[in-house]
Amino acid sequence: MDERVREHAEVLVDWSARVEAGDDVVVSVGPDAHELAVAVAEELGERGANLLATYSSDEITRAYLRAHEGEFDEAAHEKALLEEADVYLSLGGGRNTSATADVSSETRRNHREARREIREQRYDTRWVSTYHPTRSLAQQAEMAYEEYQEFAYDAILRDWESFAEEMARMKDLLDEGSEVRLVSEDTDLTMRIDDRTAVNSAASVAYDSHNLPSGEVFTAPYATEGEVTFDVPMTLRGETVRNVRLEFEDGDVVDYEAEQGESVVGDILDTDEGASRLGELGIGMNRAIDRYTDNIMFDEKMGDTVHLAVGRAYDACLPDGESGNDSAVHVDMITDVSEDSRLEIDGEVVQRDGEFRWE
């Protein structure tokens, strides 16, 4: 086995999920993530944790969803599993990133809505999502397989502890601030962040961070005003989406357009009330991610980018007991801030053309 696969498993189990003896761990395995699952199983065995592997295949989901008619039930057995789980590790990695392209958006929406409580249960665990670099992900990134492996492991196998110290500077600025303004070509957006706590997303549940790789600082903005253009392309629900422009008034999206994939954007915004408000403002700081690979978990952490998500806000950003924006969706969109851009907090520039104030 490639030594990097073992290192990936070790970072995931130790740094990211903080697995301990006796933990009940669910490992969700993508069809091509088998090798990483084997390495994770070894780490879990060494720590005396309990392992149940689930199988997460988009082809199975597609077959099930297309055959299903009418309302979806909540799956009581899956809910019971997650209620008892301490840790949930998602090892993504399929064979075709477009495997669910022909499932209708209405069916997806109904299915997502029926699974709301199951998702909440998962968010109550020490959950971490990661990807095993597969050929399908390499293809999505328009990269050769070995080239993609190097890219992915550079982003994943970092010295997370010292990286966390660097990101703490950005967190402190956001925690002390009240208003954020993002200015770039075709973008001038203000958001309130009073009383919100930024997450130093250092790829560990100990930092309220649930992605590996991570490398961003994010918070939960509100009262958004102005307009923003997301110039980094992405694939949403199997379709390419380019140059999405959103216009906000009093926190809500009042107008949207996109050069490509506009109907997907419309479907997402229509999911529920919270889907047309922001749930997240994130500052990408992982400079090992130096190119766009059309995988949101990597893209949104890219150095010199800022992303915003419509939909669900993360509890970690909110004052205790306060519920932020709620939605069945959380969809991130990204804008490049490496040129002709500035990010201000309470009128002070904290990042200009990609460079942070302390650099």
Q: Choose, by CB under 8 A, the member of 76, 320, 323, 347 that binds a copy of itself.
A: 76
Provide CB contacts within 8 A for 231, sequence distance 6+.
186, 243, 335, 336
Closer to a copy of itself by Cβ: residue 57 or 190: 57
- Per DSSP, helices labelled H in the chain are 3-10, 34-47, 58-67, 76-84, 105-114, 116-123, 135-140, 145-156, 160-176, 262-269, 296-299
Closer to a copy of itself by Cβ: residue 62 or 242: 62
Closer to a copy of itself by Cβ: residue 38 or 223: 38
Residue 73 touches a copy of itself, criterion: CB under 8 A: yes
Nearest approach, Cβ of residue 169 and a copy of itself (Å) = 39
Within 50-69, the residues that bind a copy of itself by CB under 8 A are: 50-57, 59-61, 63-69
Within 97-126, the residues that bind a copy of itself by CB under 8 A are: none
Q: Choose, by CB under 8 A, the member of 2, 14, 83, 147 that binds a copy of itself.
A: 83
Nearest approach, Cβ of residue 50 and a copy of itself (Å) = 4
Provide CB contacts within 8 A for 89, sequence distance 6+.
12, 13, 17, 25, 26, 27, 28, 40, 127, 128, 130
Closer to a copy of itself by Cβ: residue 38 or 183: 38
Q: Choose, by CB under 8 A, the member of 31, 213, 261, 324 that binds a copy of itself.
A: 31
Q: Would you list the DSSP string of 176-237? A: H-SEEEEEETTEEEEEE-TT---EEE-SSGGGT--EES--EEEE--EEEEEEEEE-S-EEET
Closer to a copy of itself by Cβ: residue 7 or 175: 7
Cα dist from 264 to 240, 246, 270, 277, 348, whole Å? 9, 14, 10, 16, 36
Q: Which stretch binds a copy of itself (CB under 8 A): 36-44, 127-135, 164-172, 228-236?
A: 36-44
Binding residues for a copy of itself, how many (CB under 8 A)?
A: 50
- Pairing type for strands 87-92 and 126-131 reads parallel
Cis peptide bond N-terminal to 213, omega within 30: yes
Q: Which stretch binds a copy of itself (CB under 8 A): 35-43, 126-134, 160-168, 331-339?
A: 35-43
Residues at the contact surface with a copy of itself, assessed by CB under 8 A: 22, 24, 26, 29, 31, 34, 37-39, 41-46, 48, 50-57, 59-61, 63-70, 72-86
